[in-house]
Structure 1
Amino acid sequence: MTDTITPAAQAAAESAGELAKTFDPAAIEPRWYADWENSGAFRPHRPDAAPFTIVNPPPNVTGSLHIGHALDNTLQDIVIRHERLKGKDALWVVGTDHAGIATQMVVERNLASQGLKRTDMGRDAFVDHVWEWKEQSGGAITRQMRRLGFSMDWSREQFTMDPHFTRAVVKVFVDLHRQGLIYRDKRLVNWDPALKTAISDLEVETREVQGHFWHLTYPLADGSGTISVATTRPETLLADMAVAVHPSDERYAALLARGAQVRLPITGRLVPIVADEHADPELGSGAVKITPGHDFNDFEVGKRAGIKAADMLNMLDAEARICQTADELIPAELLGMDRFDARRRIVELLDAEGLLERVEDRTIATPYGDRGGVPIEPWLTDQWYVDAETLARPPIEAVRDGRVEIVPKTWEKTFFNWMENIQPWCVSRQLWWGHQIPAWYGPDGQAYVAETEEEAQALAGNLPLTRDPDVLDTWFSSALWPFATLGWPDRTDLLDKHYPNDLLVSGFDILFFWDARMLMMGMHFMPEAPWKQLYLHGLVRAADGAKMSKSKGNVVDPLLLIDKYGADALRFFMAAMESQGRDVKMDESRVEGYRNFATKLWNATRFCQANGIGASQTLAAPSATSAVNRWIVGEVVNTRAALDKAMAERRFDAAANAIYQFAWGTFCDWYLELIKGQIDEETRAVAGWVLDQILVMLHPFMPFITEELWHAQGARANALIVARWPEPQAAVDPAAKAEVEWLIGLTTALRGAKNELGIAPGARLEAFLPAPSATAQAVIGGSMPAIERLARLSAIHSTPAPDGPAMQVSAGADLFVIPLEGVIDIAAEQARLAKARAESEKERDNLAKRLGNPAFAEKAKPEAVEKARADHAHHAAEVDRLTAALARLG
């Protein structure tokens, strides 16, 4: 980044003093983003400064910007801009994920529209075609990310299938295999029959489906009786290998003692009755069928019963059709049937044999593949696994001893619970697009793992080899993101300076799928933790708190919000609503409100320009003699301290509120009003400096408008994005603060009293203050013109007030008496206020009675109860307000 004036900055400087009357985000946002990116403002350019590094969770190359991206990346951008302004050598690593399943699906759909299949093309041609698609269509989301102003280092944009990244992925796989931490095993996986691949838990969504609970009779093998079981999937009896009962269930003690067996219906297979605590004596008959090859719980029961994974029966092929088991006991008529057709036929056969006891209607939580759209099957298959238990130990210790801080801390318990009970991580996927597993098989099935085929050939002694067709789970490659993006396995200058990263911002929903795995890989290969702090934010939900989904029609498109209100308004909404540990409820009216905030600042700057207030020439606060100028300098000091504290604590809502309250309330509403008509050279210098401090402090949240106003105020040596964080080199002046706050208090109290009593806001009144405090004397003596202009008091008498109706208002410790004779009709006003209070009292009491009725709280819709509470609070407040107003009238 150089100090040369960029085209956009030059154009803004030339138009100084000529801000358009109306703030139009669309007119400035694209111009400034192009200026920042082209000038290199996003790149680390301070070699002698301390680094600050974050990496963004790489979005899928197939994706479009959604509201979750907007939240996640806005928080990161606020942090990186803040650290850049504080002089850090800031690097925000950006890139996209190759998204194996998603991308392959998109490309296959495109091919299908042309009457083509990937299997017709062959693997190499298909992969080439995916690369072509990526070059033509894969950059949509990164273009959209720019619209929100994300200051990422696009010059180092990464892709998880780039050659250097692929080299890192292959090395990690090979090294882990050599260390015994990656291995091949036969286990159950989430199998998507539509995609014909294993999928992760994150790609499984649970849906409530109307189904049935079938109660079945299983005959004992010796003909001495029967045993009842119940299941939601009767077709799986074709691969049953046991019936389990609880070891303490007395009903089955004799059967366990004699080693009884069951002869399964349809197949005739003999299976043992086993004791296992998985069986719940309180549920149904207390006996459960065990199908270890097709149920995750049954798999564990089978292992405890001594059944090896290699011996567990499989009754489904990759498309979830019935296939023959190893013991060849499935009747021919069922072979090749779809699993649900087989279910219907099996129920018919059981009913015909008199073995179907009864059927219950049930709502069943059913796992579906989120992309394939069909119920997933637990499927027993050979896959590659990572020894996650071993890799999890260092991260557990790093979080426990504070080397890695999780914010909010409440997530630590969840982290430890998952990591301490972690299961082997299945990393192979049956796809063509992705990092192909670097393993080759000899004629006897032995695997040779190496970085190249030549190395594998050498290990195999020149035996003929066949490459493993599977690819790696996308989460495996993205687990290397914090260090592979910096050049690893080469030892680069970038890696030396920017690893470990300082911060990771992530949704809590990928704590295990990505965050924990980055910890595992980073600590194993670097060996430091990949970042010092992990900030977990909530999800963006619909206004009613419901999860957003296309099926519900409540998805919010951030790009449409940007079109309507501007990126700055949406960004500020995200920050202001981000309260640690809570989800963000979407509220378009709040976004509109922050657009109004931007407009307020725009108009305030136009006021400054119209009064000769321009860019400040000093980082430190200018000298100030008047109370109002000394006060506003102190308010800058307080705001900067509040902002720094909130940012250090990752309280984005508190940080946003601090600058919002100062910019809108303190500066625009009060300071500019206080100085009207009294703008001398000192005030011009102070006001220009204060506006500069606002623009700098607000910049991380609203980068576009602040950059525009920064340059519009006058020529600058640097863009705002690389300016310096405020250093007022001043302190709060208690006397000035007391005087100005006294004046603000008087003005606020008088305006409120006038409103309550129906007095016109512009009406000029006289007040009596017989014993003014020292603060009152100072303000009245030095700022009477401001009191007349703001509080609309034409005179303040130091004598007792005359008899007659009057209202009383307070300012600090001072009590003003303001006669009302001739100002309003006292009797009519008393009657009006009394009537309004009676109406509010009636509404308050009726609502209290309704809310106190347990039936209402139980039967009414939650939103109705919430509205009743809000209405009750409103009327209760109205009663208090009107009572106070009547008291004013004496």
Structure 2
Amino acid sequence: MDKTYNPKAIEERWYDIWEQNGYFAPQGEGEPYCIMIPPPNVTGTLHMGHAFQDTIMDALIRYHRMLGDKTLWQPGCDHAGIATQMLVERQINKEGKTRHDLGREAFLERVWKWKEESGGTITKQLRRLGASPDWQAERFTMDEGMSAAVQDVFIRLHDDGLIYRGKRLVNWDPVLHTALSDLEVLSEEEDGSLWHFRYPLTDGSGSLVIATTRPETLLGDSAVAVHPEDERFSHLVGKTITLPLVGREIPIVADDYVDPEFGSGCVKITPAHDFNDYALGQRHNLEVINILTDDAAMNDVVPEEYRGLDRFEARKKVVAAMKAAGLLVEIKPHKLMVPRGDRSGVVVEPYLTDQWYVDLTSEKQADGRPGGHAAIIQPSLDAVSNGSINFVPDNWTHTYNQWLGNIQDWCISRQIWWGHRIPAWYDEAGNIYVAENEAAVRTKYSLSDDLALRQDDDVLDTWFSSALWPFATLGWPEKTDRLEEFYPGSVLVTGFDIIFFWVARMVMFGTYFMDGKVPFRDVYMHGLVRDASGQKMSKSKGNVLDPLDIIDGIELEALVTKRTANLMQEHKAQAIEEQTRKEFADGIPGYGTDALRFTFASLASNGRDIRFDMKRVEGYRNFCNKLFNATRYVLMNTEGLIADDVPATLNPIDRWITSQLQHTEAAVAHHIAEYRFDLAATALYEFIWNEYCDWYLEMAKPILTGNTSDEQKQATRVTLVRVLETTLRLAHPFMPYITEELWQQVAPLADKSGPTISLQPYPLSDTQLIDQQSLDEIEWVKQVVMGVRRIRSEMNINPGKRLPLILADSSATDIERLEQHRELLVFLARLDTIELLDTNTEAPDCAVSLVDQLKLMIPMAGLIDKQAELARLTKETDRLTKEVARLSGKLGNPGFTAKAPANVVESEQRKLDDARSSLTQLEEQRQRIAAM
């Protein structure tokens, strides 16, 4: 066995062995257990969110695989329509061409070529993380089988009357020329203006003042709205105003949507270019006037002088014209939420276009068939209310129900080329025909061969195909063995941010196409990984961490370059560089996969935010090292062991560690069942670091090296090995590499065999192995030892100096335990003698610690120089007093607390709290010594 723990030396080697031997494939005769990976974008790379949720999924899969369940972790990637198309388009643009120069067919060939050459990056990275899905079953949302399933779903829904084509408002990206889902639109607060314009009443009796953040949309106004209870304007409802610059007469309407406190209390209504205005327009039967082109320029509907102008140029011209007409009242600075396309970065427009929709709102169709709400939404709501699907944490149930209860029809078409092309054809009259291909259209609709048809150019929203993931990846619409065995899945592990876009839609399609069967039984919603200060990780903030950099390490200069790359603002790049150099002065040393995985597990609570702190990874790297060194020690002391040669009677410390192991096994199983991976990790950590390494290995030393019988030595050596071997299996789902490496060397001594730990049985608690008497006895020993150590620490006594110990107020049980474990106490607490104080004897000056009623007394005579120690404590007290005053003054300064970043203020507050606590402890210690 190597002398030092080197994760790089073992990780790649073991992963190759696991994969090449097919250990990840479903096997055995146990109960099916299935997890569907949230398919990462084919364009993507592994980020912290991926690494976190994939660690959780892998831990669950490895756990159930070891339990004997027939496990399937289904891997795959999403074609990521817009993201992938943009990436390939940029490559083509560098050649001085556009996709239109190539044409659709040639462009798609370029995309497929790129996918084959570069699209597997993230799956390679998942392997580095130790992920153990069934790679032989890997799927892609654009592979042949998935594409056929997507087409089948579209055709069935259309034939069932639940997909239709209509003209409605969508989020429109004027650069990409496509509709966007809400998830693809990022709204952030920006500085803007609020323009107040005067609209004259048609009858010449006055005017109304409206306020708008988008003056150019004035040209498409259909009404002015006021609140029905606003007495200022109630007498004007029903009248009309003459729209400035256009001359169109539009009505004044009353609607509860209007906020009387905002702006002037009067709102211009542009149904074609605002979602709320569109809804109001539907209620009042207003004209819907589109004034934009696909490029967000003014179209031919507007007055001639504005036609062809970019929307923002038109804005300037409208404002100037209103000012010239004397109708500009004022301009006020105004902060507003601006929606931008997450890929293009341009301002998104609400835009009226023809799109394909899934009906999710109607109860009944015109022909009497169930509408989308009755056929799709209600079963999705029922699946949660009747307990078929369970959300963890449960509070997400309310969010899910609230969203489905207020859902709108789903826009599923996108105006791009990369994706599943909509299987719809049109004739010259605009009639629509839906089938899998043109030949099928002609057969299905009995069309003549000479009728000209053209296929719809649009593709389906990526979320449409992703919604089929739980069953289409298993072979649907064919009734395959895998579909029968692994649908529904056991648990979905995903972030709460896509509960609407993906989770709910999988439930919709799962219940509709799989005879009411839900796609998964549990939904574990995890939080978002943030930095140590609670900030969202983003490239613009420069706080992004690459999981592979944490695993492998990265030098400071490379990290600085990585974090500041592609930042256009020089001052921002400089600030990020300074922060990076301060935070990572020595770069990232590389902590290995197991340390990172265990960190993720320890952070997996039920909260919404996951604060990632590199110090925790460092701590768990030390934890791996502790386990490695403990194994080396055990192996050195158990060479040649025959594990089945166990004495009939184990000594108390062997029975104690065996009992502690049973409690830990029960705790880990319980916490995993509850999806509390943080508590499972804590239970493992406490047992391995504290109980096994710090206590049991120390307790075993006097048995292994002292004047104990061969039978006792053998019992302890067997226990050392058996508990360690079991512990390695217990920890394997969380730390697969180090546990595999160590198990291979420990297992033969524990009379275990097998090619891999990953297929060994997972440890289950056996209550018959719990010896409560040993637990009580050894806990007493530990408390006595810790009491002595506490006195050493408080009195600044050399840890190696042997001390006399006097026990006072001892019970019969204390005396009995003392006699049984005297030698162990002397060894662990480094004692010279242990005496019982007679009730009639006066105790010398002693430092005292308590274990329940038992007094632990260490005579101070000759142990410390009282005056020297008082002088030292006084000096340290003075230093801390000054530090408390300095920090108090700093935190009491409003100029500091108002301007400094929140994480800096929090850090200074922690320093103050720590200094105050230390000061209190020093003062207590000084008083004790002064009283001696």
TM, length-normalised to structure 2: 0.89
**Residue of structure 2 equivalent to 1:549:** 538
Cα deviations across residues 358-400 of structure 1 (Å, max 9, x unaligned)? 1112222100000011000000011011122422211211111
Distance 2:539 2:895 in 1: 35
Distance 2:520 2:794 in 1: 56
Q: Do the aligned residues in 1 keep the contact of 2:666 with 2:764 (CA within 8 Å)?
A: no
| Between 429-438 and 827-836, the greater mean CA deviation after superposition | 827-836
Q: Which aligned pairs between 1:136-535 and structure 2 lie closer than 5 A? A: 136-256=117-237, 259-307=238-286, 312-325=288-301, 330-389=302-361, 390=373, 391-458=376-443, 459=445, 461-462=447-448, 463-526=451-514, 527-535=516-524
Residue 34 (structure 2) pairs with residue 53 (structure 1): yes
Q: Which aligned pairs between 1:8-19 and structure 2 lie closer than 5 A? A: 19=1
Residue 630 (structure 2) pairs with residue 648 (structure 1): no
In 2 relative to 1, CA 852–615 (structure 1 residues): closer, same or farther, beyond 3 Å? farther
Q: Do the aligned residues in 2 keep the contact of 1:615 with 1:713 (CA within 8 Å)?
A: no
| Between 580-589 and 663-672, the greater mean CA deviation after superposition | 580-589
Provide the identity percentage: 48
Query: 1:884 Cα deviation (Å)?
Result: 4.4
Residue 713 (structure 2) pairs with residue 676 (structure 1): no
Distance 2:648 2:877 in 1: 51
Amino acid at match of 1:473: D
| Between 77-86 and 848-857, the greater mean CA deviation after superposition | 848-857
**Residue of structure 1 equivalent to 2:845:** 805
Residue 719 (structure 2) pairs with residue 719 (structure 1): no
Query: 1:854 Cα deviation (Å)?
Result: 9.3
Cα deviations across residues 716-741 of structure 1 (Å, max 9, x unaligned)? 22311111011353432122112211
In 2 relative to 1, CA 621–169 (structure 1 residues): closer, same or farther, beyond 3 Å? farther
Q: Do the aligned residues in 2 keep the contact of 1:624 with 1:630 (CA within 8 Å)?
A: no
Structure 1 unmatched runs, 5+: 1-18
**Residue of structure 1 equivalent to 2:583:** none
Correspondence for 2:773 among 735, 742, 767: 735
Amino acid at match of 1:647: I
RMSD of Structure 2 on Structure 1 (CA)? 2.2
Distance 1:622 1:194 in 2: 78
Residue 580 (structure 2) pairs with residue 540 (structure 1): no
Cα deviations across residues 455-509 of structure 1 (Å, max 9, x unaligned)? 2123162232111110000000000101111111011111111110010000000
In 2 relative to 1, CA 81–845 (structure 1 residues): closer, same or farther, beyond 3 Å? same
In 2 relative to 1, CA 341–156 (structure 1 residues): closer, same or farther, beyond 3 Å? same
Query: 1:613 Cα deviation (Å)?
Result: 5.7
Distance 1:470 1:460 in 2: 25
**Residue of structure 2 equivalent to 1:10:** none
> What SS does the corresponding residue of 1:129 show, helix, strand or coil?
helix
Amino acid at match of 2:251: P
Q: Do the aligned residues in 2 keep the contact of 1:503 with 1:531 (CA within 8 Å)?
A: yes
Distance 2:920 2:440 in 1: 84
**Residue of structure 2 equivalent to 1:823:** 863
In 2 relative to 1, CA 373–628 (structure 1 residues): closer, same or farther, beyond 3 Å? same
In 2 relative to 1, CA 785–500 (structure 1 residues): closer, same or farther, beyond 3 Å? same
Distance 2:640 2:630 in 1: 12
Q: Which aligned pairs between 1:754-765 and structure 2 lie closer than 5 A? A: 754-765=792-803
Residue 629 (structure 2) pairs with residue 609 (structure 1): no
Correspondence for 1:593 among 602, 605, 619: 619
Cα deviations across residues 86-143 of structure 1 (Å, max 9, x unaligned)? 1111110000000100110111111112222211111112112211111111001100
TM, length-normalised to structure 1: 0.93
**Residue of structure 1 equivalent to 2:8:** 26
| Between 655-664 and 848-857, the greater mean CA deviation after superposition | 848-857
Q: Which aligned pairs between 1:783-802 and structure 2 lie closer than 5 A? A: 783-800=821-838
**Residue of structure 1 equivalent to 2:918:** 878
Amino acid at match of 1:746: V
Q: Do the aligned residues in 2 keep the contact of 1:615 with 1:692 (CA within 8 Å)?
A: no
Distance 1:617 1:649 in 2: 35
> What SS does the corresponding residue of 2:26 show, helix, strand or coil?
coil
Q: Do the aligned residues in 1 keep the contact of 2:530 with 2:536 (CA within 8 Å)?
A: yes
Structure 2 unmatched runs, 5+: 362-372, 553-589, 705-712
> What SS does the corresponding residue of 1:815 show, helix, strand or coil?
strand
Residue 691 (structure 2) pairs with residue 666 (structure 1): yes
Correspondence for 1:744 among 749, 761, 782: 782
Residue 73 (structure 2) pairs with residue 96 (structure 1): no
| Between 807-816 and 474-483, the greater mean CA deviation after superposition | 807-816
Amino acid at match of 1:517: R
Distance 1:218 1:305 in 2: 20
> What SS does the corresponding residue of 1:109 show, helix, strand or coil?
helix
Distance 1:69 1:852 in 2: 42
Q: Do the aligned residues in 1 keep the contact of 2:494 with 2:526 (CA within 8 Å)?
A: yes
| Between 764-773 and 518-527, the greater mean CA deviation after superposition | 764-773
Distance 2:305 2:763 in 1: 80
In 2 relative to 1, CA 124–858 (structure 1 residues): closer, same or farther, beyond 3 Å? closer
| Between 627-636 and 589-598, the greater mean CA deviation after superposition | 589-598
Q: Do the aligned residues in 2 keep the contact of 1:742 with 1:812 (CA within 8 Å)?
A: no
Amino acid at match of 2:383: A
> What SS does the corresponding residue of 1:713 show, helix, strand or coil?
helix
Q: Do the aligned residues in 2 keep the contact of 1:806 with 1:888 (CA within 8 Å)?
A: no
Amino acid at match of 1:691: L
In 2 relative to 1, CA 166–617 (structure 1 residues): closer, same or farther, beyond 3 Å? farther
Amino acid at match of 1:290: I
Correspondence for 2:24 among 26, 42, 66: 42
Q: Do the aligned residues in 1 keep the contact of 2:837 with 2:843 (CA within 8 Å)?
A: no
Distance 1:213 1:853 in 2: 37
**Residue of structure 1 equivalent to 2:100:** 119
Q: Which aligned pairs between 1:70-81 and structure 2 lie closer than 5 A? A: 70-81=51-62
| Between 436-445 and 872-881, the greater mean CA deviation after superposition | 872-881
Query: 1:810 Cα deviation (Å)?
Result: 2.9
In 2 relative to 1, CA 623–506 (structure 1 residues): closer, same or farther, beyond 3 Å? farther
> What SS does the corresponding residue of 1:487 show, helix, strand or coil?
coil
Distance 2:304 2:642 in 1: 88
Which structure ranks higher in relative contact order (CA pairs < 8 Å, sequence separation ≥ 6)?
1
Distance 1:623 1:83 in 2: 34
Q: How many residues align?
A: 861
Cα deviations across residues 19-63 of structure 1 (Å, max 9, x unaligned)? 2111111111011111111111111111x2101100010000000
Distance 2:642 2:549 in 1: 37
In 2 relative to 1, CA 262–614 (structure 1 residues): closer, same or farther, beyond 3 Å? farther
Q: Do the aligned residues in 2 keep the contact of 1:183 with 1:384 (CA within 8 Å)?
A: yes
Q: Do the aligned residues in 2 keep the contact of 1:523 with 1:529 (CA within 8 Å)?
A: yes
